[in-house]
Structure 1
Amino acid sequence: MKRFIDGLRGGLSQEMMNEGPDSGSTHGGQSQGERRPPGFGGDRLPGGGAGRVRPWTQAQDWLQLSADFPCSRGIWARPGPLGQPRASPCPDAAPTSAYTAPLTPPGSPKPARLCSTRQGKRLAQPHKNQGHRPSRAPGCSLSLPPSRSSLPVCLPFSKHTFLLLGGCLLAWTAMAQYAVLVFIPAFCAVALLQSVSPEKVHRWTFSFQMTWQTLCHLGLHYTEYYLQEPPCVRFCITLSSLMLLTQRVTWLSLDIGEGKVMVKEAWRGPCVLAFCSYLLFFPALLGGPLCSFKRFQARVSRPGSPWRPPSLGPATRRGLLLLGLQLLKSLVTGMLGVGTSLADCRRLGCVYVMWTTAALFKLTYYAHWLLDESVLWAAGFGPDSGTPPHGEGEASDADIWTLETTHRLALFTRTWNRSTARWLRRLVFERAEARPLLQTFAFSAWWHGLHPGQVFGFLCWALMVEADYVIHGCATALLGPWPGKLLYRAVTWAHTQLIIAYILLAVELRSVSALRLLGASYNSFFPLVYCVCLVLLARRKRRARASPAPFTQ
């Protein structure tokens, strides 16, 4: 049977080659001089000098020719070009190719569809506008002929390569020999993502990444506390980049474990390159909000240049805001004075020193966040690059208006470094079974380096957020008309800003000596007020739950 079909196929092919453009005959509704698929009608093979045919035109011609004669199971089992899968040799099997694009451009008549029944016969179904429409046979599958065009594959490949090489060059320029501390966990994470099953990939990548980062932080501890030497600036830049790499690795592993990102077969070239470029792409290597892999892949796969010229309006606003932040930073530095610290202040003067120092830290954070977002925005990965995917949230970190005007400590916590807060919420808070708030801030202290001031500051922050929920929940039911609400908002705003200043100084100063000076000053009064309110209100709630309900008829 197979020899008969092959002979019939060869005869038809020879007949079609005889009916070339010179014979004046047409086949399958094609006019004279129209280009036929490769191997039919005198067309030249790839590389022979003939003009290229559109992939959808090739598919139409293949389908039109296949409708004129029966075929066996081996006709469509042809090896595809490099980089594309083979067509399925079995008509009953599902198509193995991922390129399931429409065969016809918009507005053109649709070709006949091929269906395979379980008896091995192949039927041609005409379109509904071409007459009768038979019912579709079960197990219908369509295998597309391999396309010659490699443009959709080459463009993402070149963009991924450009982003990866740019990240490696920037890392070596900024970190020198310490860049190896970033390259090793990045490539090991890619190896784990490709080798471990999706159910276990997050556990393995999280354990390896946090172990590597903790060892690097212990090296910083050894230099600062044991050797009593200032750390190298390049090593500090490396630690900052390593912390951002941990965000991207764990976010990607969570996406893979939840089925949002599908990993192809192990060690497929395009998949490995996409992961490497995402973990080391240069716009977010040294700073910037967390960019998810879905946003990154959508932007890289989009046709066009990876860089776009910034618009005049947003660029002007960002530039003016950066200039204003630098002027405010210079003004606060002048107000603070030279040599003013917690060791030189007395009594209420320490409150002024704490507030101005914290304001200086916040202005520095705002300027860095805005500059990092501008780099991502100019590269096309920022919040202005399009609508974020569902569930990804905003990419901006610097919501200065909300941070400086809110009277709720919980809202300040959710808005401060928003992308990191969203990452901590997904990584720890939503997965914790007991005391998620305490676990989230404890992990944040671990991620930042476990310095003494950081451990105290983040645990104090968790306690203050818990007190904020209790205090504002009770105060909302007790407030009267608008003058009382306005006074309550003003007092709680000032108290929130002073508590944030206290936490910022504890986290930034880090050492035990600075923490001792901060705790012995009058500044400790402000978090103590929240702690006392938390204890009293929690005891009141406990008594209310323990008391029996009043008897009613």
Structure 2
Amino acid sequence: MANGRDFYAGSRAFEWLAMLVGLPIDQFNFLICQFIALMLAIVYKKVLPPNKVTPQVRHTVALLIGIVLGYFCFGHQISHLCLLGTISYIIMNSINPQIMHRGVLFVALLYLSSLHLLRLTYDYGGWTLDITGPAMIATQKVSSVAFSLHDGLARSEENLSLDQKRYVIRQSPSVLEFFSYIFHFQGLMCGPLMFYNDYITFIEGKSYNRVKHPQGQALDETTKYLIFQGPPLEQVIQKITVSIFFALFLVIIVPHFPITYLTEEKFLNETPWLSQMFYIIVATSVVRSKYYHAWLLGEAVCNAAGQGFNGFTSGGQPRWDLMSNVDIVRFEMSVNFRESLETWNKTTQVWLKSIAYDRAASHKTLLTYILSAIWHGFYPGYYFTFLGGALLTVAARSVRRSVRPYFQTSKPISVFYDILSCLATRVALAYIVFPFILLESMASLKVYWNFYFLGHIIALLAIFVLPIVLPPQTKSGKSSSAENDQRISSASDTSCFSQATASFS
């Protein structure tokens, strides 16, 4: 059977060069497009600033460049984004605003799901780049616009949360604005997601209107000019450098730790248990370089165009992390499961929070995980990871409530607890994430059976037994069994969102 790259729809004009450097043509084209986008982003900021050209010009140029680069990288498959965007736009402007947002989400997920299923037929288990990646980002965009438009047309101001007020849209975008948002070249290939209002303020050069100065001062012209000019070039260069480092790491180091080794008889029957666990930790850790490389490069492209303003530091300096998808150092050194989730795929977490978790009447955590799993696709390994992630989320919360207070009596003991928690988090993440990379159900079950499902058993004990043995303390220092029972029974519904979203792609 032909592999996925035999069906690759993008340009093969540089296939000879891709062979010389030893990269598959799909990956080579992706790099070409991103570095072209990086160069054009610099030109875009310098030649077409919002004080010299109209928003329509900036929209048009960003749209056309995105379509050209998208066609180069994905060929005729770029038509899927056109069709997805067109259908969504028609629904937004023809259906009652009271239900329009749900219709857009349903149709977008249905269309994306059909692409995921189609991919399974020609590249099962493969990693060939195709339109499903940009379609995942486009699904986030059209659904976020629809929900924000619903908030603006069908809900009163007093019923909106602070986040909903920030993203609310009061009138339907024009065709140019909408498709520029879907196709703008800075975030077409792999994101990061930028919400519609943030994109419009960037196009109009009014990002400074979105936030207040930390000291409550009026923004002076110098500060506005700094924001208008975009982030310092040094920040862009730093992100490109780190992205290149992880690209080299991906090419040189990752092949030495194949995830498929987990299913081999030598690993399962001849490797000591601790060595097995260590290998899983290493294999799932090094593969993250793929995401670090792509996300940092995408963020650099956005920053080079002037995007990314996200308020001010406590010292009053502009922050440029609006487009940040990951905090690498905090993630790798996180001392608990919650911190790991807060620092991973951050823009997707905001999307899940804004359209699922904040709006669900009940079973918030479960519904959020289900949406995230469907958005990723239909490999069984995804569902092992997301459902297992939900279980570990609640278990980690239970452990923190019952155990942590006993380690807060002194600074050394607290540090010791953090070290143990950090190590436990590394093991838990590896245990729950490897099916996401392995993909197949039987292979994942085979590995879990080899570990006697110990991680799942410990998680269940932490949820249902630990609170009985070590009841969580109230603020007064005494435990309350009634409050305990209520917390346990509702844990899957009331955990904060940063504990509820385990988006690993």
TM-score (norm. length: structure 2): 0.68
Specify the alignment match of 1:274 in structure 2: 177
Asked if 2 retains the 8 angstrom alpha-carbon contact of 1:251 and 1:292, the reply is yes
Paired with 2:125 and 2:257, the residues of 1 have a C-alpha distance of: 24
Specify the alignment match of 1:164 in structure 2: 63
Superposition deviation, residue 231 in structure 1: 5.9
Superposition deviation, residue 256 in structure 1: 0.7
Equivalent positions of 1:359-438 (< 5 A) are 359-383=285-309, 394-438=322-366
Q: Does 1:251 align with 2:144?
A: yes
Paired with 2:278 and 2:459, the residues of 1 have a C-alpha distance of: 20
Q: Does 1:469 align with 2:406?
A: no
Specify the alignment match of 2:85 in structure 1: 186
Specify the alignment match of 1:453 in structure 2: 381
Q: Does 1:299 align with 2:202?
A: yes
Query: Residues 339 and 358 from structure 1, CA distance in 2 versus in 1: closer, same or farther, beyond 3 angstroms?
Result: closer
> What is the root-mean-square deviation in Å for CA atoms of aligned residues?
3.3
The aligned amino acid for 2:141 is: R
The aligned amino acid for 1:454 is: Y
- Give ranges in structure 1 of 5+ residues lacking alignment: 1-150, 265-269, 549-553
Asked if 1 retains the 8 angstrom alpha-carbon contact of 2:63 and 2:185, the reply is yes
Query: Residues 171 and 545 from structure 1, CA distance in 2 versus in 1: closer, same or farther, beyond 3 angstroms?
Result: same
In the TM superposition, what whole-angstrom CA distance separates every residue of 1:443-499 from its partner, at most 9, and x where no partner exists? 111111122111111000011111111111122322232333222211111111111
The aligned amino acid for 2:332 is: E
Specify the alignment match of 1:143 in structure 2: none
Query: Residues 239 and 319 from structure 1, CA distance in 2 versus in 1: closer, same or farther, beyond 3 angstroms?
Result: closer
Percent sequence identity is 21
Aligned equivalent of 2:133, options 237, 240, 243: 240
Task: Name the SS for the 2:190 alignment partner.
Answer: coil
Superposition deviation, residue 171 in structure 1: 1.9
Aligned equivalent of 1:320, options 214, 221, 241: 241
Specify the alignment match of 2:108 in structure 1: 209
Q: Does 1:351 align with 2:250?
A: no
Asked if 2 retains the 8 angstrom alpha-carbon contact of 1:340 and 1:353, the reply is no
Rg: which structure is higher? 1
Paired with 2:185 and 2:312, the residues of 1 have a C-alpha distance of: 20
- Give ranges in structure 2 of 5+ residues lacking alignment: 1-49, 153-167, 207-224, 314-319, 473-479, 486-505
Asked if 2 retains the 8 angstrom alpha-carbon contact of 1:263 and 1:271, the reply is no
Paired with 1:329 and 1:280, the residues of 2 have a C-alpha distance of: 28
Aligned equivalent of 1:333, options 232, 237, 254: 254
Q: Which one scores higher on RCO, CA 8 angstroms, separation ≥ 6?
A: 2
Aligned equivalent of 1:536, options 465, 474, 490: 465
Paired with 1:425 and 1:529, the residues of 2 have a C-alpha distance of: 28
The aligned amino acid for 1:398 is: V
In the TM superposition, what whole-angstrom CA distance separates every residue of 1:354-387 from its partner, at most 9, and x where no partner exists? 1111111222211211111001111222347999
Query: Residues 384 and 316 from structure 1, CA distance in 2 versus in 1: closer, same or farther, beyond 3 angstroms?
Result: farther
> Bigger CA drift: 378-387 or 400-409?
378-387
Paired with 1:523 and 1:367, the residues of 2 have a C-alpha distance of: 35
Specify the alignment match of 2:418 in structure 1: 489
Q: Does 1:195 align with 2:94?
A: yes
The aligned amino acid for 1:246 is: T
Task: Name the SS for the 1:200 alignment partner.
Answer: helix
Asked if 2 retains the 8 angstrom alpha-carbon contact of 1:329 and 1:364, the reply is yes
Query: Residues 359 and 464 from structure 1, CA distance in 2 versus in 1: closer, same or farther, beyond 3 angstroms?
Result: same
The aligned amino acid for 2:344 is: W
Superposition deviation, residue 409 in structure 1: 0.3
Superposition deviation, residue 320 in structure 1: 3.5
Task: Name the SS for the 1:199 alignment partner.
Answer: helix
Greater fraction of residues in helix: 2
TM-score (norm. length: structure 1): 0.63
Superposition deviation, residue 184 in structure 1: 0.4
Query: Residues 359 and 523 from structure 1, CA distance in 2 versus in 1: closer, same or farther, beyond 3 angstroms?
Result: farther
In the TM superposition, what whole-angstrom CA distance separates every residue of 1:481-522 from its partner, at most 9, and x where no partner exists? 233322221111111111111222111211123212321233
Task: Name the SS for the 1:348 alignment partner.
Answer: helix
Paired with 1:417 and 1:523, the residues of 2 have a C-alpha distance of: 30
In the TM superposition, what whole-angstrom CA distance separates every residue of 1:11-55 from its partner, at most 9, and x where no partner exists? xxxxxxxxxxxxxxxxxxxxxxxxxxxxxxxxxxxxxxxxxxxxx
Superposition deviation, residue 524 in structure 1: 4.4
Task: Name the SS for the 2:98 alignment partner.
Answer: coil
Q: Does 1:504 align with 2:433?
A: yes
> Bigger CA drift: 491-500 or 308-317?
308-317
Query: Residues 546 and 200 from structure 1, CA distance in 2 versus in 1: closer, same or farther, beyond 3 angstroms?
Result: closer
The aligned amino acid for 2:298 is: D
Superposition deviation, residue 329 in structure 1: 4.5
Paired with 2:336 and 2:329, the residues of 1 have a C-alpha distance of: 13
In the TM superposition, what whole-angstrom CA distance separates every residue of 1:172-228 from its partner, at most 9, and x where no partner exists? 11111222222101112122222234322201211111111112222223345xxxx
Specify the alignment match of 2:72 in structure 1: 173
Paired with 2:287 and 2:309, the residues of 1 have a C-alpha distance of: 25
Paired with 1:534 and 1:283, the residues of 2 have a C-alpha distance of: 44
The aligned amino acid for 1:505 is: F
Paired with 1:317 and 1:385, the residues of 2 have a C-alpha distance of: 20
Superposition deviation, residue 539 in structure 1: 4.7
Paired with 1:394 and 1:495, the residues of 2 have a C-alpha distance of: 30
Specify the alignment match of 2:120 in structure 1: 221
Asked if 1 retains the 8 angstrom alpha-carbon contact of 2:398 and 2:463, the reply is yes
Paired with 2:359 and 2:310, the residues of 1 have a C-alpha distance of: 31
Superposition deviation, residue 297 in structure 1: 0.7
Asked if 2 retains the 8 angstrom alpha-carbon contact of 1:453 and 1:515, the reply is yes
Specify the alignment match of 1:263 in structure 2: 171
Asked if 1 retains the 8 angstrom alpha-carbon contact of 2:243 and 2:294, the reply is no
Paired with 2:328 and 2:234, the residues of 1 have a C-alpha distance of: 19
